[in-house]
Amino acid sequence: MRVGGQDMRVRTKFSSELMALTDELAQMARLTQEASERATAALTGSDLTAAYEVFALEEQVEIEHAKCEDRSVILLALEAPVARDLRHVVTAMQIADDLLAVSRALSRVADVVVRRYPDPVAPAVVLDSVAEMSGAVTLLIGTAVRVIAAQNPPRDRVLIPRDETVDRLRAHLVELAAADGWAHGSAMAIDIALLAHHFERAADHCVRIGRLIRFFHTGIPLYAQTEA
């Protein structure tokens, strides 16, 4: 009986640690969503304060990432998790990496705002497309927040589908910046192409988060998941 009781206490502690790990991921996701909203404000309003808020939020995401990493390593090293629990921990580590990558991409967006300040990052007609792309990425991050927090997400479909708006706007912005009639200088053209790239990378990481969560719940590897 004493052994059984000890096993139960160990299992309860392990479950509690897994819940704490999930909570830390959810906090990372919320901070990343806030950073995306502030990045959009920085872009559309040439808002230096909003840009610096993006940097501050990245630092908070870094702190949460380190906490997730430390907790995951302890769980793997000391608790010898069984298959499903192991999948939980490994998946959480990868999701934390993806959220950190999204946060860093958003900081690169804020870098452009700071460098161009007090001027806007692009002419109004181009800035409208940049802002639309930023808004689409914010929506994807919001979906990631909800999927991470969900107890039982759907298992038979893609959780965070690719957004055709992001792909379309990236192609549009790169085409604009590379056009023969571009009249705003090569430096701005490079910035526009970089902004499109950063947003595309952020969107890619959000889609991957959805696939990771589906892998956790179903065991279907990422390479075997389809968009259907």
pTM: 0.91
Structural domain harbouring 25 = 3-224
Q: Is 174 exposed, middle or buried (0-12, 13-18, 19+ CB in 10 A)?
A: middle
Residue-wise pLDDT tens digits, 184-197:
999 999 999 999 99
- When mean pLDDT is compared across 21-25, 53-57, 73-77, the lowest value belongs to 73-77
Three-state helix/strand/coil letters over the chain: CHHHHHHHHHHHHHHHHHHHHHHHHHHHHHHHHHHHHHHHHHHHHCCHHHHHHHHHHHHHHHHHHHHHHHHHHHHHHHCCCCHHHHHHHHHHHHHHHHHHHHHHHHHHHHHHHHHHCCCCCCCHHHHHHHHHHHHHHHHHHHHHHHHHHCCCCCCCCCCCCCCHHHHHHHHHHHHHHHCCCCCCCHHHHHHHHHHHHHHHHHHHHHHHHHHHHHHHHHCCCHHHCCCC
Mean pLDDT of all residues in 204-212: 96
Residue 123: cis peptide before it, omega within 30 degrees of 0 = no
- Domain harbouring 31, CATH code: 1.20.58.220
pLDDT attached to residue 102 = 98
- When mean pLDDT is compared across 16-25, 70-79, 207-216, the lowest value belongs to 70-79
Task: Check pLDDT > 50 for residue 153.
Answer: yes
Spatial separation of the C-alpha atoms in residues 200 and 174, rounded to whole Å = 12
Residue type, 31: L
pLDDT attached to residue 11 = 59
Number of domains in the chain: 1
Mean pLDDT of all residues in 24-52: 96
